[in-house]
C-alpha cells in the first residue's frame, strides 16, 4: 500500500512551528475547539492553496509561504467518510458540530492522523495531525521550499 501524502502551506515566518498545532490551538478551526492543538493538512497542494485563499479575506497574499509534504502509513489514520458526518458539519462559520469530531478524536488518542472530507472540495481529504500523539514521530515531514501563488490569484 502506498503511503498517505498530505500537504501543508504556512507563512514563511511560521515555518519553524508549522507542526506544533499552536495556531489551531489558539485560533481554533472547523474541526477543533480553542485549546486543542491540531495540524491541518490537505490531500494535495492545490487544495492546501485553496484553503489559504478561502481563509485570507480579502485575497491579498503577499507574504511568502512555505510548502511541506507529509508522508505516513495509512495504518496511522482514522477515516471518517462523508456519509458518516453529522448534519451541519460544513456550516459556515463552523459550529460545535464539526469541532466536536476532532476534539473527541484527539481525546481518544486512537490515531495520529484523521482523514475527513474537505468542505471546499468534499471528494478531497483534509488531514488533521495530532502533534501530541506518540506516533507523530513516524510522520515524514519534508520541507519542499518556498511556495508562491500565481499573481492572478492575489
Please report which helix (H) or strand (E) contains residue 24, including its range: helix 22-27
Please state the domain count of the chain. Answer: 1
Question: How far is residue 66's CA from residue 81's CA, in Å, rounded to a whole number?
Answer: 29
Over residues 36-43, the mean pLDDT reads: 98
The residue range of the domain holding 115 is 4-149
Q: Per-residue pLDDT for 61 more than 60?
A: no
Calpha distance 71→61 (Å, rounded): 27
Residue 55: per-residue pLDDT: 74
Q: Is residue 53 part of a domain?
A: yes
Phi, psi for residue 123 in degrees, rounded to 5 = -70, -15
Residue 62's pLDDT is what? 65
**Would the pLDDT of 47 be above 70?**
yes
User: Residue 125: is its pLDDT beyond 70?
Assistant: yes
Residue 154 inside a domain? The answer is no
pLDDT, mean of residues 71-77:
98
Global pTM? 0.94
Q: Spell 40-77 as b/e; 16+ CB within 10 A means b.
A: bbbbebebbbbbbeeeeeeeebeeebbbbebebbeebb
CB atoms inside a 10 Å sphere around CB 109:
12
CA-to-CA dists, residue 127 to 109, 111, 152, angstroms: 15, 12, 28
Quick check: is 46 in a domain?
A: yes
Q: What is the pLDDT of residue 2?
A: 75
Say if 37 falls within a structural domain: yes
Note whether residue 51 is domain-resident: yes
Is residue 98 assigned to a domain? yes
Whole-angstrom CA distances from 124 to 58, 115, 132 are: 24, 10, 25
pLDDT band at 146 (very low <50, low <70, confident <90, very high): very high
pLDDT of 31 above 60: yes
Q: Is residue 87 part of a domain?
A: yes
Amino acid at each position: 500500500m502506498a503511503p498517505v501524502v498530505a500537504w501543508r502551506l504556512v507563512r514563511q515566518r511560521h515555518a519553524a512551528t508549522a507542526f506544533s498545532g499552536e495556531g489551531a490551538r489558539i485560533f481554533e478551526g472547523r474541526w477543533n475547539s480553542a485549546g486543542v492543538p491540531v495540524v491541518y493538512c490537505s490531500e494535495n497542494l492545490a487544495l492546501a492553496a485553496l484553503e489559504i485563499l478561502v481563509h485570507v479575506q480579502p485575497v491579498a497574499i503577499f507574504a511568502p509561504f512555505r510548502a511541506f509534504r507529509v508522508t505516513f502509513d495509512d495504518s496511522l489514520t482514522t477515516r471518517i467518510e462523508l456519509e458518516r458526518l453529522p448534519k451541519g458539519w460544513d456550516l459556515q462559520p463552523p459550529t460545535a458540530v464539526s469541532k466536536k469530531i476532532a476534539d473527541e478524536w484527539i481525546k481518544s488518542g486512537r490515531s495520529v492522523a484523521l482523514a475527513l472530507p474537505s468542505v471546499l472540495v468534499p471528494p478531497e481529504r483534509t488531514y488533521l495531525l495530532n502533534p501530541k500523539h506518540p506516533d507523530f514521530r513516524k510522520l515524514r515531514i519534508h520541507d519542499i521550499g518556498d511556495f508562491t501563488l500565481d499573481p492572478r490569484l492575489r
